[in-house]
Amino acid sequence: MNLYHWSRATCLKAYRTGDIIVMAETVEEARQKVRDNVDEFLKEHRSWWFLGDNLDEYCREEYKDFMGMLEFDITLKPDIIASGTVFITGSE
């Protein structure tokens, strides 16, 4: 199992800097895990985009833009942290 790290993800820079870190066997599995879990992240961090479990029709364009940036971010080659240890320094 490796950690796959996309630093300074464009999709997370709208309001702050952010990284995406995923534990997976392969980079393709890591990318799929990101896709599978992004809506749960958004429901917590962009809750105003949702009405219950559904996307608010007024936020569809923002959601579409975010998803486009996310897809761009995860197509980039991630850092592979085989040791399973991550040290992150710095601030927003």
Checking if the pLDDT of 91 tops 70, the result is no
Which residues span the domain enclosing 21?
A: 2-81
Q: What is the pLDDT of residues 25-66, one digit of tens each?
A: 999 999 999 999 999 999 998 999 999 889 999 999 999 999
The answer to whether residue 24 is domain-embedded is yes
Please count the residues of the chain: 92
CA separation for the pair 83, 90 (Å, rounded): 21
How wide is the angle at C-alpha 39 spanned by C-alphas 8 and 90, nearest 5°?
A: 25
CA separation for the pair 13, 2 (Å, rounded): 25
Entry pTM? 0.79
The answer to whether residue 89 is domain-embedded is no
Neighbours of 26 (CB within 10 A): 10
Checking if the pLDDT of 14 tops 80, the result is no
The answer to whether residue 8 is domain-embedded is yes
The answer to whether residue 90 is domain-embedded is no
Q: Which residues, listed in sequence order, are joined to residue 51 by a DSSP beta bridge? A: 54
Q: Note whether 8 and 16 are within 8 A (CB).
A: no
Report the domain count for the chain: 1
The answer to whether residue 16 is domain-embedded is yes
In 3D space, the residue among 36, 34, 35, 41 whose CA is nearest the CA of residue 4 turns out to be 34
